[in-house]
């Protein structure tokens, strides 16, 4: 059976997609759900002056707002019902996952199986409501503080904005779960992917416009395109890179038969943390720069608090902007920290649990004693893989940061966005591939049954 599956995986024919009725239904459902999401990114919040809002975003460009606007597919800049996008849910999910490592009560829920998983999902949903409510209130208060953005400021505007934004986030959370269950998986990732991809044409048009107006030379634009291809190729190579550790199983006696020992491999990804470290690092470093921009604007408008804080705001703006040496150094340090933190405490791979499972099943790594020695060896390998992965993420994300700072390249062409797009594309293709394998395998079984009846 395993050999048949391997042959199907090697000789998969995507032409069979036309005969895979179930897969086509799933794909059409995903397309329809993503179209609903894109339509929602154009439904504006009530009581907002779109021209004043666009001017405010133009003045505050390059900070945290641009990054969140990229993840929301432009919803934040247009201040639509999906302005918060799915980011509150992602933030709470990551916090809950990490708390299952450090909190005994949540760790116990993690070991309860399906029932524990549902309880953790419920905690995540409640946390998403609280997180989205806090962010929605902050957005409504910030919009009211900006002159001419809100047409009729007051408590009713804040309440309406909070209900609308929280409802939009919860709807996207539900939509992502539906895509995962009724589609081809990766629902939340596909929503973020769609938002980024939707902004790529505008980002390319902006870059070409810079070339047309003479602000950027044509060879430089071609160099950017070539660099993008190189970065995508590098991302694919490193995301597929694995360290395969040989695991051996001894001979076993089953009844009257002696089953010979088997060899298998334990795959460890080079980049265990995925795209989370650069996202967290960017959010952490861009938050002070964005706040400093707001203070500078308040100072220009005559606000007393802005005037008192202008010195701090000028320092942050000068040293924590894109491409500045301090920003680059802090960004790399944050990426390294989050890579090692998530690799050591994240849910992807636990050396102790893996060593215990191998020992229970009779497996062992050649030359390594089962138990604590195996766990120590796996932790040793994981640490060195994480080091290489952190260097890879730092290089991939630092090069576009320099280009964004020097040549005003849009955020959508940054390293983080390319990481997300490439990773989601690879995962989606893998999901479709597995569905096609299952369809072909079911077809072989049906043919075998028909032959048996004849």
Residues with Cβ within 8 Å of 337's Cβ and at least 6 positions away in sequence, in order, are 277
| The CA-based dihedral angle spanning residues 13, 17, 22, 23, taken in that order and rounded to the nearest 10 degrees | 80
| The CA-based dihedral angle spanning residues 323, 324, 325, 329, taken in that order and rounded to the nearest 10 degrees | -70
pLDDT bin (cut points 50, 70, 90) of residue 4 is very low
Instruction: Give per-residue pLDDT as tens, 47-73.
Output: 888 888 877 777 665 555 666 777 777
**What DSSP line would sit under 276-289, residue for residue?**
HHHHHHHHHHHHHH
Instruction: Give per-residue pLDDT as tens, 364-411.
Output: 888 888 888 888 998 999 999 999 999 999 988 888 777 766 766 665
Is the model more confident about 163 or about 196? 163
CA 409 – CA 323 distance, rounded (Å): 12
Percent of the chain residues topping a pLDDT of 90 = 13
In degrees and rounded to multiples of 5, residue 367 shows phi and psi of 85, 0
pLDDT reported for residue 306: 45
pLDDT reported for residue 15: 57
Is the separation of the CB atoms in 85 and 91 below 8 Å?
A: no
Output the CA–CA distances (angstroms, integers) from residue 138 to 35, 134, 225, 350, in the order listed.
29, 6, 38, 38
In this structure, how many other beta carbons lie within 10 angstroms of the beta carbon of residue 405?
16
pLDDT reported for residue 7: 45
Is the pLDDT at 9 greater than 50? The verdict is no
Is the model more confident about 6 or about 54? 54
CA 418 – CA 275 distance, rounded (Å): 10
Is the pLDDT at 196 greater than 80? The verdict is yes
Percent of the chain residues topping a pLDDT of 70 = 76
Is the separation of the CB atoms in 292 and 319 below 8 Å?
A: no
Instruction: Give per-residue pLDDT as tens, 307-366.
Output: 444 566 667 666 666 667 888 888 899 889 888 888 877 667 788 888 888 888 788 888
Pick from 32-46, 136-150, 159-173: least confident? 136-150
pLDDT reported for residue 5: 43
What mean pLDDT comes out for the span 289-299? 59
Output the CA–CA distances (angstroms, integers) from residue 179 to 122, 188, 282, in the order listed.
18, 8, 28
Is the pLDDT at 172 greater than 80? The verdict is yes
SS3 string, 35-80, reads HHHHHHCCCECCCECHHHHHHHHHHCCCCHHHHHHHHCCCHHHHCE
pLDDT reported for residue 385: 92
Is the pLDDT at 24 greater than 50? The verdict is yes
pLDDT reported for residue 221: 79
Instruction: Give per-residue pLDDT as tens, 208-240.
Output: 777 788 777 788 778 878 888 888 899 999 988
pLDDT reported for residue 60: 61
Is the pLDDT at 170 greater than 90? The verdict is yes
pLDDT bin (cut points 50, 70, 90) of residue 39 is very high
Highest average pLDDT, of 16-30, 84-98, 225-239, comes from 225-239
Instruction: Give per-residue pLDDT as tens, 428-453.
Output: 888 888 777 776 666 556 665 666 66
Is the pLDDT at 256 greater than 90? The verdict is no
pTM: 0.77
Output the CA–CA distances (angstroms, integers) from residue 262 to 3, 18, 110, 365, in the order listed.
15, 39, 31, 12
pLDDT reported for residue 360: 83
pLDDT reported for residue 453: 60
Residue 48: which region, alpha, beta or left (left: phi > 0; alpha: psi -120 to 50)? beta
């Amino acid at each position: 059976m395993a050999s048949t599956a391997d042959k199907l995986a090697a000789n998969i024919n995507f032409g069979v997609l036309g005969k895979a009725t179930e897969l086509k239904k799933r794909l059409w459902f995903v397309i329809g759900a993503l179209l609903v999401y894109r339509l929602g990114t154009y439904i504006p919040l009530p009581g907002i002056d779109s021209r004043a809002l666009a001017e405010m975003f133009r003045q505050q460009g390059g900070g945290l707002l641009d990054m969140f606007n990229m993840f929301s597919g432009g919803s934040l800049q247009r201040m639509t019902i999906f302005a918060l996008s799915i980011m509150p849910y992602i933030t709470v999910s990551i916090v809950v996952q990490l708390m299952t490592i450090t909190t005994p009560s949540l760790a116990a829920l993690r070991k309860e199986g399906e029932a524990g998983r549902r309880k953790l999902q419920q905690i995540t949903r409640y946390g998403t409501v609280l997180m989205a409510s806090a962010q929605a209130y902050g957005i409504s208060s910030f919009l009211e503080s900006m002159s001419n953005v809100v047409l009729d400021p007051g408590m009713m505007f804040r309440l309406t904005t909070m209900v609308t934004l929280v409802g939009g986030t919860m709807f996207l959370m539900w939509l992502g779960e539906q895509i995962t269950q009724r589609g081809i998986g990766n629902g939340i990732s596909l929503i973020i992917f769609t938002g980024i991809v939707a902004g790529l044409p505008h980002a390319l048009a902006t870059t070409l416009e810079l070339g047309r107006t003479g602000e950027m030379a044509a060879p430089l634009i071609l160099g950017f395109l070539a660099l993008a291809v190189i970065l995508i190729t590098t991302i694919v190579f490193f995301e597929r890179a694995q360290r395969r550790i040989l695991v051996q199983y001894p001979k076993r006696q089953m009844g009257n038969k002696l089953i010979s020992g088997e060899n298998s491999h334990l795959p460890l990804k080079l980049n265990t943390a995925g795209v989370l470290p650069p996202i967290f690092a960017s959010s952490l470093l861009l938050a002070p720069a964005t706040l400093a921009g707001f203070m500078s604007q308040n100072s220009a408008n005559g606000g007393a608090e802005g005037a008192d804080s202008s010195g701090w705001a000028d320092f942050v703006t000068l040293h924590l902007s894109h491409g500045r040496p301090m920003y680059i150094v802090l960004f790399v340090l944050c990426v390294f920290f989050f890579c090692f933190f998530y690799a050591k405490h994240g849910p992807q791979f636990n050396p102790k649990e893996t060593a215990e499972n191998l020992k229970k099943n009779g497996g062992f790594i050649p030359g390594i004693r089962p138990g604590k020695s195996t766990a120590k060896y796996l932790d040793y390998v994981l640490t060195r893989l994480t080091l290489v992965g952190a260097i890879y993420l730092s290089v991939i994300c630092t090069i576009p940061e320099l280009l964004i700072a020097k040549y005003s390249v849009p955020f959508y062409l940054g390293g983080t966005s390319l990481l997300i797009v490439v990773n989601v594309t690879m995962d989606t293709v893998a999901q479709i591939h597995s569905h096609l394998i299952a369809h072909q395998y079911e077809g072989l079984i049906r043919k075998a049954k028909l032959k048996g009846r004849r």
